[in-house]
Amino acid sequence: MSLQGTLSHHIKTGFSRLYNAELNTVEFQSTRKEFEGDITVVLFPMLRVIKMNPVQLGESLGQYLVDNVAEVKGFNVVKGFLNIVIEDHYFINFFNAIKDEDKFGFVKEDTNAVIVEYSSPNTNKPLHLGHVRNNLLGYSVAEILKASGKKVYKTQIINDRGIHICKSMLAWKRYGNNESPASAGLKGDKLVGNYYVKFDQEYKKEIADLIANGVSEADAKKQAPILIEAQEMLVKWEAGNEEVVSLWKMMNGWVYEGFEISYKNLGVDFDSYYYESDTYLLGKEFVTEGINSEVFFVKEDGSVWCDLTEDGLDEKIVLRADGTAVYMTQDIGTAIQRIKDYPDASGMVYTVGNEQDYHFKVLFLILKKLGFEWAKNLFHLSYGMVDLPSGKMKSREGTVVDADDLIVEMTTTAQEISQDLGKLDGYSEGEKQDIYKTIGLGALKYFILKVDPKKRILFNPKESVDFQGNTGPFIQYTYARIQAILRKANFDASAMLSDMQLHPKEKELIKQLQLFPEVIQQGATNHSPALIANYTYELVKEFNSFYQNVSILGAEKQSEKVFRVQLANAVANTIKNAFGLLGIAVPERM
């Protein structure tokens, strides 16, 4: 049983014996630094059960715990707070139980599976900074859910159909001269993205020409010949036109090869891929079923809708009048197909930006109305945009920050700062390049993941690569420092120690380690890597305070040296595991 569980049981028993009254819950919090104690009981909620002076209540409960609980050494009462001092042997016993666990805090996988969707790019452009946040969030949440005991399937939906795809295809057909990634010396996704930008440039020229000839701007946007031709191409694609489908397959193939390189560079992976070009057809089948069961209704023009006004939303189109699918059609089909493929999954997490909040409210509600039991376990992991100091990005204007370019920039920034600080003097050039990439990627991932997903981020590459403060490199550097200490410990540090007195800094560090299992569970429940990231920073701060105040290898007693090396090793292992949940590597030397 945990310390809180043990204390809660004894406090309830003591409350009953002392006051002949029952407590349902006991509220705990961390003891404030300025007071003596290891854990604090909040007394105010108890005053609703029994009316008395909170200080007197604290004194009597504290004395009861000292008299009846072996782990309790002493106590003090500050107003409505009972600060409890715990015996050293409790912390030593706890530490001995976990010090050799490689995956302390991780729960063994059960049969409760969940599908986590992330990335889900369009095949008309390369991955950009917004996709980076999406991928890092989705991957990390999947890893945290795994650590919490869930079986996890990582997946994505490739948005490989629609007018935006046809725009890239048409621009290549008009202006590409049979250019390929090989002939251009470009990744396929970058090449296709260039033609998406080219389409927009030509579209704007045609709009300007129409306006110059007296057409209104609103009409010019609809009448531009290049747009009309792209719309016609989409109709041909849906009809299975051989030439259009062949072009679509070729250009999408280029993009997929490019995406795989980006995913490898980012360090994310997937168990399965779904394609909108497949799942929209299944969605259309269920629209037909929904009409029959009166979940959907058909308007006079033949379009199909779902009336959600009684649920506080509005009417939502699920099929256009010409029979073509909308995003909602595809998402209905994708959700149903995934549960067919993974029947042990009882829910799904969708990692998608907050501009789609309304879309997912509607999707989840429609799936419930269609009678799917699992629809109650759907979660939209909504996140804010990522901005750069230079301003907002637009794909069609070519002003996005490409994910691959960003990774290169982060590596370069890490190199410049490391060289200025002289951090890697004495390393070979190959070793340096590996560490620069580890630091740069760690800085990028940590900067993004330490922020609550719902918040918008202003990302500054140089600010993120800082060896001080709440940054990835600061935590990585602490891990490397511990590894240096462990390499110098030229003695057997495997002995089990029990009869010793803890230094206050040792106790604080063990208390911080104790929190890790709970933080993993909270991270999983809240779908928040930020909880893991900020826990790790607090652990590192606690270790650095310990390191500055307590000699590890220079301790007077051999038993102290052994214990402190064990403690440093457990901290390093927890840093590595926590950072693993964020998809961040830790260097052995730095």
Q: Give pLDDT tens digits for 219-278.
A: 999 999 999 999 999 999 988 999 999 999 999 999 999 999 999 999 999 999 999 888
Instruction: Map out the domains of the chain as residue ranges.
Output: 3-86, 118-387, 403-581
Q: Which helix (H) or strand (E) holds 77?
A: strand 72-78
User: Taking 50 as the threshold, does the pLDDT of residue 31 lie above it?
Assistant: yes
Q: Would you identify the CATH topology of the domain 403-581? A: Isoleucyl-tRNA Synthetase; Domain 1 (1.10.730)
Tell me the two tokens of residue 294.
């009166």
Under 8 Å between Cβ of 216 and 243: no
Distances (CA, A) of 376 to 294, 312, 366, 394: 20, 18, 11, 35
Cα distance between residue 147 and residue 150, in whole Å: 7
513 CB neighbour count, 10 Å cutoff:
24
Per-residue pLDDT of 118-141, as tens digits, reads 998 989 989 988 899 999 999 999
pLDDT confidence tier of residue 393, bands split at 50, 70 and 90 = very low
Close Cβ partners of 478 (under 8 Å, ≥ 6 residues apart)? 540, 543, 544, 575
Query: Do 207 and 220 meet the contact criterion of CB atoms below 8 Å apart?
Result: yes
Calpha distance 260→36 (Å, rounded):
54
At residue 279 the predicted structure's pLDDT band, cuts being 50, 70 and 90, is confident
- Closest C-alpha to 467, from 407, 413, 403: 413
For residue 396, the model assigns a pLDDT of 46
- CB atoms near residue 115 (< 10 Å): 25
Nearest to 549, CA basis, from 495, 502, 588:
502
Q: How confident is the model at residue 390 (pLDDT cuts 50, 70, 90)?
A: low
Q: How far is 86 from 504, CA to CA, in rounded Å?
A: 12
What is the pLDDT confidence band of residue 93, given thresholds at 50, 70 and 90?
Answer: very high
In 3D space, the residue among 441, 476, 539 whose CA is nearest the CA of residue 139 turns out to be 441
Length of the chain: 590
Nearest CA among 276, 277, 283, 315 for reference residue 299: 315
Percent residues over pLDDT 90 in the chain: 78
Contact 372, 342 (CB under 8 A): no
pTM of the model as a whole = 0.91
**Homologous superfamily (CATH) for 118-387:** HUPs (3.40.50.620)
pLDDT value of position 395: 43
- Predicted confidence at residue 240, as pLDDT, reads 93
Surface-to-core class of residue 63, CB atoms within 10 Å of its CB (0-12 exposed, 13-18 middle, 19+ buried) = middle
Query: Average pLDDT of 374-380?
Result: 97
pLDDT tens per residue, range 530-567: 999 999 999 999 999 999 999 999 999 999 999 999 99
Percent of the chain with pLDDT over 70: 98
Cβ burial of 484 (10 Å; 0-12, 13-18, 19+) is: exposed
CATH number of 3-86: 3.30.1360.70
User: Of the candidates 351, 330, 327, 348, which has an alpha carbon nearest to the alpha carbon of residue 132?
Assistant: 351
pLDDT band with cut points at 50, 70 and 90 for residue 397:
very low
> What is the crossing angle of helices 558-581 and 88-98, to 10°?
60
